[in-house]
Structure 1
Amino acid sequence: MSTQLDPDLLRTFVAIVDAGGFTAAAQQVHRTQSAVSMQVRRLETLLDRALFQREGRGVQLTPDGEAMLGYARRLLKLHDEALAVLARPDLSGLVRLGTPDDYVGRFLPDILVRFARAFPRVQVEVHCEPSVNLRRLLAEDRLDLALITCTPGAETGEVLRREPTVWATAERHLAHEDEPLPLALFQAGCPFRDWALAGLSGLGRPYRIAYTSASISGVLAAVTAGLAVTVLGRSVLPAGVRPLGAAEGFPPLPPASITLHRGGSVSAVAECLAGYMREGFAAEALSSSMSSGNPAILA
């Protein structure tokens, strides 16, 4: 008999990678940690390949695990899309999705295109607000789903991505050398703003908040014009803007955890979109990892 790959085993394997370890994955797939470990052993036995190697407190994908991850994502994507389209072709309704402005252009287009193809009768209403406002809107039952930026170690919701955070300036200007340092930041309550001010205060470096905006376009307008420095997720830096580091005298910043939160009563259609968002972020992270040549390290 030819080897058959069980979708449940593949889903657990992918969950371990996305969640950052066996314990967190067990919560996502609603199994015990021992059951998750057993599923991994079954998958490795079927493939006759080791998928993980342990290093200290974490686990790391083996080369075979890296190769299998791409196939597993594609197989699960087709599997879930087929079930969604055939089992619920007439699903309709409204999903109210909240997100910080800086995530819209970078992460949502591919996710929304795939979701619209599978569920053409579903309307998605996107609300762009800072994370602090999104929490309030969720509490008021005015959103079904929300992407919220969290501080590492204080995450709530489902972690979709851990994004490196960087200082950024225009490539052809020297605003980062000005004293006091001119800053273009998001509005109060944004974690990026808090991290920037705390980092500079810790160094004792003088600064002034020259520009404040609720949108990434407003922040980047000041930065690209050479008028200020900002703090953003590395993956959203546009052409003409470069990161700054210790060599230029800037302190390290914590990575941003992009988390998915649900409202009080989540409909079936909202859960479908949540699944597409989870898969979309996971696929994007794999693509970024492969293009950069960096191995996937799991906490």
Structure 2
Amino acid sequence: MPRNLDLTALRSFVSVAESGGVTKAAGMLNLTQSAVSMQLKRLEENLGLALLDRTGRGVALTPTGDQLLSYARRMLALNDEVYARMTDHAFEGQIALGVPHDIVYPAIPQVLARFTQEFPRVRVDLISSFTVQLKEYLADGSCDLILTTEDAAGPGGEALVELPLIWLGAVGGQAWRKRPLPLAFEQSCLFRDSVQRALDAAGIEWTMRVQAESARTIEPIVAADMGVHAVLEGTEPAHLERIAHGGELPKLTTKKIVLYGHNGAHDPVRDALAGLVRQAYAQL
């Protein structure tokens, strides 16, 4: 049957070890000396071990007590962290993060998971849309932070990373060999113009096989080998693959992932979320 250590007794033990005596520890803990002594005795009885060497004038730890001290500090630190997180009402409410459809994965789930651990009482609203729309949301206050994909950061923006566009197609697909080249893009996708310009410069005819409002519509079309698409390197969906075209398709330009909304008045919740976003995209 599992046995549990008394955290109150452990706190008294650590205080005695760090202060060098029961009297000082009692003052630190706002307890009587007899209460601290009783807790230490109960802890030793529970473990069946001598933790303190009482043969000298002061209080010294036995080798076993010295070993317990490291564990006790860690247990108390974790206890205090959990208690603070669960009972702290300073950080409550909600925050809205806007992210383009095509860069939500793989970074944003990691960001949300870590943020929720650090701010369990703050609700995160994830808004997925196009760069132009997200900038409007930031301007009207619908979003607190947004990410965009652009050629360069605009006023107030922070470029987090610059990534190349890559050709994307069905697993083992052959659509990329067709001429005119069938393209599949959202109507508002900022990548589309770059792709079309690159094809025009290479003298490759193309046709817009599919225009849609959502990446959810584009991905099954590409997966069915009905067209090709382009995404930022490192953000491609697992069910599609990079096209190994061997130079038969033109090299595409790069785009920057830009963070907006973090330059206003200091806000610890928003600043923490911005920091997690920076870390996640720096790893792409």
TM-score, length-scaled by structure 1: 0.60
Q: Deviations over 1:53-83 (max 9, x none)?
A: xxxxxxxxxxxxxxxxxxxxxxxxxxxx99x
Identify the residue that residue 165 of structure 2 maps to in structure 1: 165
1:42-53 alignment, distance < 5 Å: none
Identify the residue that residue 135 of structure 1 maps to in structure 2: 135
Deviation at 1:237, TM superposition (A): 2.1
SS in 2 for 1:173: coil
SS in 2 for 1:164: strand
Identify the residue that residue 207 of structure 2 maps to in structure 1: 208
Which residue type is aligned with residue 235 of structure 1?
G
Identify the residue that residue 6 of structure 1 maps to in structure 2: none
Are 2:146 and 1:155 aligned? no
Identify the residue that residue 181 of structure 1 maps to in structure 2: 181
Identify the residue that residue 250 of structure 1 maps to in structure 2: 249
Which residue type is aligned with residue 110 of structure 1?
Q
1:1-299 alignment, distance < 5 Å: 90-151=90-151, 154-156=152-154, 157-188=157-188, 190-244=189-243, 247-262=246-261, 267-282=267-282, 284-285=283-284
Bigger RCO (CA 8 Å, 6+ sep): 1
Whether contact under 8 Å (1:150, 1:256) holds in the other structure is yes
Deviation at 1:193, TM superposition (A): 0.9
**Equivalent pairs, count:** 199
Deviation at 1:198, TM superposition (A): 0.9
Which residue type is aligned with residue 155 of structure 1?
A
Which residue type is aligned with residue 172 of structure 1?
G
Deviation at 1:264, TM superposition (A): 8.2
Deviation at 1:97, TM superposition (A): 0.8
Structure 1 window deviating more from structure 2 (245-254 vs 102-111): it is 245-254
Whether contact under 8 Å (1:186, 1:192) holds in the other structure is no
Higher helix share: 1
Change (3 A) 1:263 1:280: closer
Change (3 A) 1:240 1:112: closer
SS in 2 for 1:247: coil
SS in 2 for 1:105: coil
Runs of 4+ displaced beyond 6 Å:
none
**Residues of 2 paired with 1:113 and 1:191: CA distance?**
29
Structure 1 window deviating more from structure 2 (231-240 vs 171-180): it is 231-240
Deviation at 1:95, TM superposition (A): 0.8
Identify the residue that residue 58 of structure 1 maps to in structure 2: none
SS in 1 for 2:222: helix
Deviation at 1:247, TM superposition (A): 2.3
Which residue type is aligned with residue 153 of structure 2?
E
**Residues of 2 paired with 1:245 and 1:201: CA distance?**
20
- Uncovered stretches (5+) of structure 1, i.e. residues with no partner: 1-80, 286-299
Whether contact under 8 Å (2:262, 2:274) holds in the other structure is no
Q: Percent identity?
A: 31
**Residues of 1 paired with 2:183 and 2:264: CA distance?**
40
Change (3 A) 1:241 1:93: same
Deviation at 1:245, TM superposition (A): 5.9
Whether contact under 8 Å (1:244, 1:250) holds in the other structure is no
Structure (1 or 2) with the larger CA radius of gyration: 2
Whether contact under 8 Å (1:245, 1:251) holds in the other structure is no
Which residue type is aligned with residue 233 of structure 1?
L
- Uncovered stretches (5+) of structure 2, i.e. residues with no partner: 1-80
TM-align CA RMSD: 2.6
Change (3 A) 1:245 1:197: farther
**Residues of 2 paired with 1:107 and 1:92: CA distance?**
24
**Residues of 2 paired with 1:94 and 1:140: CA distance?**
16
Deviation at 1:238, TM superposition (A): 3.0
Whether contact under 8 Å (1:89, 1:118) holds in the other structure is no
Deviation at 1:242, TM superposition (A): 2.8
**Residues of 1 paired with 2:135 and 2:245: CA distance?**
33
